[in-house]
Each structure stands twice: as C-alpha cells, then as structure tokens.
Amino acid sequence: MARAKCCGTTTAATAESEPVRLSDVIIFTHPACLAHDPGPEHPERPQRLEAVLAGLREVHGDLDWREAPLAKLGDLRRVHSESLLREVLESDFDGYRMLDPDTVMGPGSRAAALRAAGAAVAAVDAVMLGMEGKNGSTTAFCAVRPPGHHATRDTAMGFCLLNNIAVAAAHACDSHGLERMAIVDFDVHHGNGTQAIFCNDPRVAYFSTHESGLYPNSGLPQERGVGNVFNSLLPPGSGGFRFRNVWADVLLPELDAFRPQLLLISAGFDAHMRDPLADLMLETEDFAWLTRELRAVARRHAFGRVVSLLEGGYDLEALRECSVAHVNELR
C-alpha cells in the first residue's frame, strides 16, 4: 500500500549488558479523546475509553498521568498523504461524516485524532528522555481513541482516522536516530495500515497475531515485506494455549533476534473471549503473559523502553480488566 521512510543514525546501543531500573508507567490521555463520537450503536464508542481510564485510576492512580498534546503536521506527514490529512483535519461538515461504512467522524473527531497521534509522539519522547535521567520512566501507555492501526498512508478505515503507532515509529526514527524498532500488534484484527506503511523499511519490524478470516482479510504469513513482517494467523476459537505457543515458538524468537532499540505495542484487547466482534478465546492473563514477555525483550535490547497504544476491545468489562493487567506488567 505505502511506506514511510525513517532516517537518522542510531544513538542507542543494545542493552543486553545494561541494568534497567523499574519505573512507573507514564499514562498519556486527553478529554478530547472522549469527544470522538461515531454515532449511536457504533462499537468504537466513548465508553470504551471511560472504562479504561476508570480501571487505571482505580488500580494505578499513582502513576504519572500526562495530557496528550496535539500532533504536529510534520509528524503526521511522515506517514500520511496530504489528501488523507485534508480529509480528516480540514473537512467541514455538520453532524456525522462517513469515511467508509465502518469509519465515521463527528464534530469532536478531529481533535481526538490529533490528541491520539500527539500522545504517541509524546510517549516516545518521554521514554527516550527517561534513559537520559530527565524522568524516571521507560514505559508509557497511551489511553486514547480513535484507534489507528488500520489507517494506511492514504485511507482512513476500520474505525481508524490516523495511524498513531506509525506516527510514533517514524518520529522515533527521525527525532531519536533509532535504526531498529519493533511494532508488536496483538489486536484480533490485522494492522494492515501499519504493515503497509513500513513493509519496505527494514528499520521497522512488524509482528502480529490476528484471527484468520476476519476484517481486513490481510496479514497472511507469506506477507514478509523486506523480511521485516511477521504474521501468524489464529483460527476462530483459538485460546490462550495456542496464542502463547505461537508467540513463544515463532514470533518472540524473531523479535529477540531483531534486537529492537524501542518496542511499540498496538494493544488491542478484542481477542478476549467476551469480545463481541471476534471469535478468539483469550483471557486477561494471556495478555498479561505476553506483556511480560515483551517487557523482557525490551529489557534485553532496548533499555526497557516500551510505548503501548490502545487499539481495539469492545466488551467494556474485558477491556477494563485487560488494560489494567497490561499496564501492571509494564511497571
């Protein structure tokens, strides 16, 4: 579909022999992300983020809470075309505007999209500066919406307006000189937009498990990019045993071999057994297990640096539980 080029020379060595201190997670969010309203009965509703924030504040209220800034146009232009940016950021309309049958904008959507992408950029800066002693954190979680991993360079789709995690990855390359960055996507739907943006850029490796036969019907194992794309399909009905084995036997060894200098996570929790939009059978502890494994990889190679962004998850109780467990493992 498209790609974004990352540039700059690396400023970070591997962390395999470096001690990494534990630290609290920085939480980036903004009230504007609650104002994105795709309309009545839409599954990507404001209550999703309300559930996440309520759970995090109840269990992890002592974390470093920060306001997500507005994304800058220069950050967005690294991964998105001018035509998409005009469609999302400059179009005037009243009421609701359908970009496709699933993707709808309301009056608050523009600000929400800018805050969600801005959170991703700020989170990268925060964890990178953390290693320089300017704050105490090497991990961050962006509790934002709309999600982003389906948005391609030119097209908003699948509830996604801007590709937040792609914006973060390109910013990390250009502004922090990283040469090996990994994006891990465990949302039940394949992150077609993220894969397409980076499929020809060997600096960014993409790792994904997702349900077979599900929207957007992409992400086959033979889709390899330039050797930087790793997809594994999970048949409908797959549970935690198969999920963990695929990661432990196939994807985590490839991730470890890549030695990422920064780990980005598309944290979608719609593979949970209670989610209404898919047919996998994962439980909360399965997401916690994978987060622990990813944290270990980050400690070995990336000084513990992890930035996670909320993607899908449409059962409110499951979403709340999984977000809390995920953030707990990032501490």
Each residue's pLDDT tens digit, 228-260? 999 999 999 999 999 999 999 999 999 999 999
SS (H, E, C) 221-250: CCCCCCCCEEEEEECCCCEHHHHHHHHHHH
Where would I find the H helices in 38-186?
46-60, 73-77, 82-89, 109-130, 164-176
Is 224 within a domain? yes
Per-residue DSSP letters for 246-297? HIIIIIHHHHHHH--SEEEEEE--TTBTT-TT---BB-HHHHHHHHHHHHHH
Is 163 within a domain? yes
Amino acid identity at 115:
R
Instruction: Say how far apart CA 294 and CA 304 lie, in whole Å.
Output: 9
Span 98-121, mean pLDDT?
A: 97
- Res 11: pLDDT: 37
- Res 93: pLDDT: 81
Pick the more confident residue, 331 or 292: 292
Say yes or no to pLDDT of 32 above 60. yes
- Res 23: pLDDT: 55
Say yes or no to pLDDT of 204 above 90. yes
Instruction: Say how far apart CA 122 and CA 171 lie, in whole Å.
Output: 10
**3-state SS class at 187:** coil
Is 315 within a domain? yes
Span 64-81, mean pLDDT?
A: 98
Is 9 within a domain? no
Is 1 within a domain? no
Which among 36, 60, 150, 176 is annotated as catalytic? 150
Amino acid identity at 45:
R
Q: What is the mean pLDDT of the chain?
A: 92
Name the DSSP letter for residue 142: E
Active site residue 150: yes
Structure tokens at 249: 């036997």
> Domain residues for 227?
26-330
- Res 104: pLDDT: 97
Name the domain count of the chain.
1
pLDDT, one tens digit per residue, over 254-289 is 999 999 999 999 999 999 999 999 999 999 999 999
pLDDT, one tens digit per residue, over 170-193 is 999 999 999 999 999 999 999 999
Is 251 within a domain? yes
Say yes or no to pLDDT of 38 above 60. yes
- Res 94: pLDDT: 82
Is 290 within a domain? yes
Residue 140's DSSP bridge partners are 26, 307
- Res 136: pLDDT: 59
C-alpha 12: how far from chain center: 22
CB atoms within 10 A of CB 150: 29
Residue 76, domain CATH: 3.40.800.20
- Measure Cα distances from 123 to 21, 34, 202 in Å: 18, 19, 23
Say yes or no to pLDDT of 12 above 70. no
Amino acid identity at 330:
L
Say yes or no to pLDDT of 145 above 50. yes
Instruction: Say how far apart CA 303 and CA 280 lie, in whole Å.
Output: 33
Model confidence, pTM: 0.92
Where would I find the H helices in 136-226?
164-176, 192-198
Instruction: Say how far apart CA 90 and CA 73 lie, in whole Å.
Output: 12
Is 19 within a domain? no
CB atoms within 10 A of CB 28: 28
The share of the chain scoring above pLDDT 70, in percent, equals 91
